[in-house]
Amino acid sequence: MCGIVGIVASDEVRQDLYDALTILQHRGQDAAGIVTSDGNHCFLRKSNGLVSDVFQDHHMQRLQGTVGIGHCRYPTAGSSSSAEAQPLYVNSPYGLALAHNGNLTNSADLRSELTANQLRHLNTSSDSEVLLNIFANELGSMRAVDPSPDNVFKAVGAVHEQCKGAYATVAMIIGSGIVGFRDPYGIRPLVYGRRQTDIGFDYMIASESVALDILGFDLIADVRPGEAIFITNDGQVYSQQCATQMELVPCIFEHVYLARPDSILDGMSVYKSRLKMGEYLAEQILKHYSGRDHDIDVVIPIPDTGRTAALPLAHELDTKYREGFVKNRYIGRTFIMPGQSQRKKSVKQKLNANSLEFKGKNVLLVDDSIVRGTTITQIIQQARKAGARKVYIASAAPAVRFQNVYGIDMPARDELVASDRTDEEVAEIIGADWLAYQTIEDLEASARKGNPEIGRFECSVFNGRYVTGDIDEAYLTKISYDRSDIVKQQREMNFPPARQAERDAKSSDKSFTQDVDIVDLHNHG
């Protein structure tokens, strides 16, 4: 889960790229980067941190050009080193920069092929660098002085043939334009739109439609599974289906948690999906009471993603809806924070219970999902400390029992609280008096209301079915190890923030890592 954006405009794009990344900041808070081009040179700034921290005034002034791409990073199993911040860049052919949202499931095999047979050097452990080099290798093999749309589409087609997994990608070809493409299943979202100017149109490709809306772009369409959109520097738009087999199977977790509620993904309103989740969840709760009057005094959402589902749920139960938790908006999303100790500390700082809404009441807390169970456990403890008589939990998503392999940092399976446990056992572990999960069927129906043409969703974290068909137990065992909190803590010990900052400072004049460098295309060779 990362945020990506690409813009071709008639004027400088740096501010629009910055603004788009702040809009997409919820998709990644680990690192951010922007690369721009004036047609002859490229200018890149990237580093660890929030968008507002990475880009200062002097960085923005040096990001010149009317074409550019940006990225806000959310790490899964990779390093937190700023060397893996995106966009990533290679100087041959033409000069290519790429930003990627997703995860390649066969990156290890592709890496071996690139280094052993294609003799390409890879500088990071990122699968995004693998994707970039495959695209560069295919585009370079065509030996075109200037890449035509047909060249670009053939290169994307070759990427589809080699790469498995999830990838929504935007790439900038220096001197030519930007290309956006999506894997043949369309697992991760990607949209594009245009904005009227005095002399024509500006174009944007982005992870979510909300970035288009706020910056005044009109949505043209979602990039279809296997499709590529190529926008030249002079504003010509070309599109082509580049995959031989494709099927739209979007990730359902985008609607549960990842995407902003004001986004439209593949024709489906995230906000309406979450409203329907609340309605279906109310039916589950009423079934639990088997026609008896429920004893719920108040419905309280866990902000922010629990709010939309909690509203119709309270209405269907004919009970009070109250804001019982006050949120500190200066704390990031705990789901995407590395390390269990950091997540625990952040939960305490992030939410505070208002005792007026809890004291002496049977409280139903509504959350978007339950993953490790540690966050909801602390929230339940807060509710009881605030005086709640009973604490019930309703999850707008089904029980998370399996790892995600398509770009979401689900932990090792044995760190998932619902793995190999009944609902009653989970309720006991987290300290709830009762727990209600959404069903998979109702969750899919909630999103499908907006686009009935979608046959199925990517729901592997709930049912263990991986749509790409290439996932075996050995792969799951490996990513369980890579994503375990113990391994993440070891990485931090081996490369703590102080050492990272020292290294970045030393390298700031030598690479793209910490400051903007100018690449002269005439020296590319």
Distance of CA 192 to the CA centre of its chain: 17
- Tokens representing 509 are 């004049």
112 close to 193: Cβ distance less than 8 angstroms: no
* Residue found under tokens 């580093």: 47
Half-sphere exposure in the Cβ direction for 302 (13 Å, CA) = 27
262 close to 273: Cβ distance less than 8 angstroms: no
In this structure, are strands 390-395 and 434-437 parallel, antiparallel, or unpaired?
parallel
- Helical segments of 141-204, H only: 149-162
In sign, the C-alpha dihedral spanning 306, 312, 318, 322 is positive
Known catalytic membership, residue 2: yes
Half-sphere exposure in the Cβ direction for 448 (13 Å, CA) = 15
In sign, the C-alpha dihedral spanning 342, 348, 350, 351 is positive
Half-sphere exposure in the Cβ direction for 430 (13 Å, CA) = 32
Q: Quote the CA–CA distance of 413 and 404 in Å, as a whole number.
A: 10
Q: Which of 2, 72, 251, 459 is catalytic?
A: 2
Q: Quote the CA–CA distance of 132 and 90 in Å, as a whole number.
A: 8
383 close to 297: Cβ distance less than 8 angstroms: no
* Residue found under tokens 């970035």: 211
Q: Is 264 helix (H, G, I), strand (E, B) or coil?
A: strand
Backbone angles phi, psi at 436, to 5 degrees: -120, 125
Which 3-state string (H, E, C) describes 352-408?
EECHHHCCCCEEEEEECCCCCCHHHHHHHHHHHHCCCCEEEEEECCCCCCCCCCCCC
Q: Quote the CA–CA distance of 72 and 407 in Å, as a whole number.
A: 14
In sign, the C-alpha dihedral spanning 232, 237, 242, 246 is positive
Tally of residues, the chain:
525
* Residue found under tokens 């709930």: 462
Q: Quote the CA–CA distance of 173 and 344 in Å, as a whole number.
A: 43
Residue 146's nearest CA partner among 183, 176, 121, 122 is 176
Q: Is 463 helix (H, G, I), strand (E, B) or coil?
A: helix
Amino acid identity at 269: S
Amino acid identity at 499: R
Distance of CA 491 to the CA centre of its chain: 22
In this structure, are strands 41-48 and 227-232 parallel, antiparallel, or unpaired?
unpaired
Q: Which residues are catalytic?
A: 2
